[in-house]
Amino acid sequence: MTERLVVVGGDAAGMSAASQARRRRGRDELEIVAFERGAHTSYSACGIPYWIGGLVAGGRDALVARSPEAFARDHAIDVRLGHDVTTVDLDRREVVARGPGGDVRLGFDHLVLGAGAGPVTPDWAAEAFAAGTRGVYRAQTLPDGEAIRAAVGAGARRAVVCGGGYIGVEVTEALLRRGLDVTVVQRGPQLMGSIDPEVSVGLRHAMEGHGATLRCGTVARGLVTRAGAVTAVATDQGEIPADLVVLALGVRPRTELAAAAGLRIGGSGGIATDDRQRALDADGAVVEGVYAAGDCTEVVHRVYGRRMTVALGTHANKQGRVAGITIGGGQARFPGVVGTAITGFFDVEAARTGLSCAEMGRAGVECVHATIESTTIAGYLPDAPRVTVRLVAEAATGRVVGGQLVGGRGAGKRIDTIATAVTAGMTAEDLVGLDLAYCPPYSPVWDPVQVAARKLLDALG
């Protein structure tokens, strides 16, 4: 008998799960229906800032990896756009989706919840969106990107970006590229709060050097409007004129459907699952046939086992894959995260992984850190880009538990070496002895990560 898989959310996690399930189970065995409330499926939100900045050849369509037609043709997956799933009934094993033609009721044998995370929207911003105020945007979806591009095209001159996390940084670059004056309003004392200020200073200099105005320690409290259009952002330190405002204030897992269905929502705010992405009930037992993956779930931090939510496409794809393989009868596990992330601003690259000293302190574990300055290629070559690297180790064992770096071309992806070391539980000594590649145009003879590891070893004593 043909079984049915229903997927809620047609992007990274949901469609990875659907595709993997299809690879293992033919169309006669498994019918797959994916409901997506938006107008696109399998699109790269990660590319939106670069599209706004004019860097994406081919426009919006280049950000869409696969259309519903391609899913139907190549994978026999029935993607229904414009369908908002409003109810998940685990007793009846069916969902209700509100579509253009009314409600659709569909039973399932397997269900994947991949609803993602929704943008944090303060009341004043929600009121502006509800009132249709012109000039206020988010940068979450392709229509958001399209609206920002249209506003820039229509002559917006002064932008305020609310939020100094990585999306705020990337949108700031995009708007500077398009010739706008950009002010970043950030509640905390620095941008990119997950990177220590001594390391992120290079990013701040780059942003100021490219003309961005940074207003850290400033809280956005509302919008000033005239004739239905924004004219300024009101902050606790006065008004900042703007004809274009982008909110990049973080996201929260979308868990409403799961919670209403009686699934367990973890303490960190995401849907709780086991490492095969099987959803748990209120008592922590696996709910057979029900999976959750991506930004809507919580994940385990591999260093100290803490559960947390991390909204990143890299995890969503991996978790979706695990759910799909499990549905297909295979064996796969999502082992958790170490908190690796990377971003950039023009030619400055910034990345972090594992735990910072502050996070170690909060975990009650004594740590040692070392910070170095080096270059990403041999220093005698022209314009060798500078890089700052910080490594963090557990004081008692010398085990590397985290790292951060900011630098020019070639710096950012070096975080992967540190992430690998953190994941493998390597010590500073292990890292010093690692056989990394060397050739002058690609690296100094001591890779900057190993220069930092040597200093860390000294600090560990």
Ligand X SMILES: Cc1cc2nc3c(=O)[nH]c(=O)nc-3n(C[C@H](O)[C@H](O)[C@H](O)COP(=O)(O)OP(=O)(O)OC[C@H]3O[C@@H](n4cnc5c(N)ncnc54)[C@H](O)[C@@H]3O)c2cc1C
Indicate which residues carry an active-site annotation: 46
Radius of gyration (Cα) for the chain, nearest Å?
23
Check residue 120 and report its DSSP letter.
Answer: P
HEC profile for 271-304?
Answer: ECECCCCEEEECCCCEEEEEEECHHHECEEECCC
CB 299 within 8 A of CB 274: no
Tokens of 217: 């320690």
Place of tokens 């790269």: 44
Residue type present at position 274: D
Binding residues for ligand X (CB under 6 A) = 8-14, 35-38, 45-46, 48-49, 84-85, 114-116, 139-140, 167, 254, 257, 294-295, 311-314, 316
Contacts (Cβ under 8 Å, ≥6 apart) of 55: 177
- Using the minimum distance from each CB to ligand X, give the nearer residue, 14 or 402: 14
State how far the Cα of 144 lies from the Cα of 150, in Å rounded to an integer.
10
Taking the complex as a whole, the smallest distance from the CB of residue 354 to ligand X amounts, in Å, to 17
Taking the complex as a whole, the smallest distance from the CB of residue 13 to ligand X amounts, in Å, to: 4
Closer of 193 and 313 to ligand X (Cβ)? 313
Long-range contacts of 78-82 (CB under 8 A, 24+ apart): 78/31, 78/32, 78/33, 78/34, 79/10, 79/15, 79/34, 79/36, 79/41, 80/33, 80/34, 80/35, 80/36, 80/104, 81/10, 81/36, 81/38, 81/39, 81/40, 81/41, 82/36, 82/37, 82/38, 82/39
CB of 233 to ligand X, least distance (A): 20
Q: How far is the CB of 304 from ligand X (least distance, A)?
A: 22
Tell the smallest beta-carbon distance from residue 388 to ligand X (Å): 21
CB nearer to ligand X: pick between 213 and 314: 314
Residue with tokens 């949901």: 14
Give the pair of three-digit tokens for residue 283.
């008592």
Instruction: Give the residue among 249, 344, 362, 259 at the shortest CA–CA distance from 301.
Output: 362
Considering the complex, state which of residue 161 and residue 384 has its C-beta at the smaller distance from ligand X: 161
Element (H, E) at 144: helix 142-153
Looking at beta carbons only, is 46 or 378 nearer to ligand X?
46
DSSP string for residues in 2-60: -EEEEEE--SHHHHHHHHHHHHHS-TTTEEEEEEESSS-SSB-GGGHHHHHTT--TTGG
Q: Which residues in 69-91 are b (16+ Cβ under 10 Å) and which e? A: eebeeebebbbbbebebeebebe
Nearer to ligand X, 10 or 339 (CB): 10
**Which residue's CB is nearer to ligand X, number 36 or number 359?**
36
We find the least distance from the C-beta atom of residue 288 to ligand X, in angstroms, to be 22
Q: In this complex, which beta carbon is closest to ligand X, that of residue 166 or of residue 443?
A: 166
Least Cβ distance, residue 406 to ligand X (angstroms): 16
- Please, what is the minimum distance in Å from the beta carbon of residue 285 to ligand X? 24
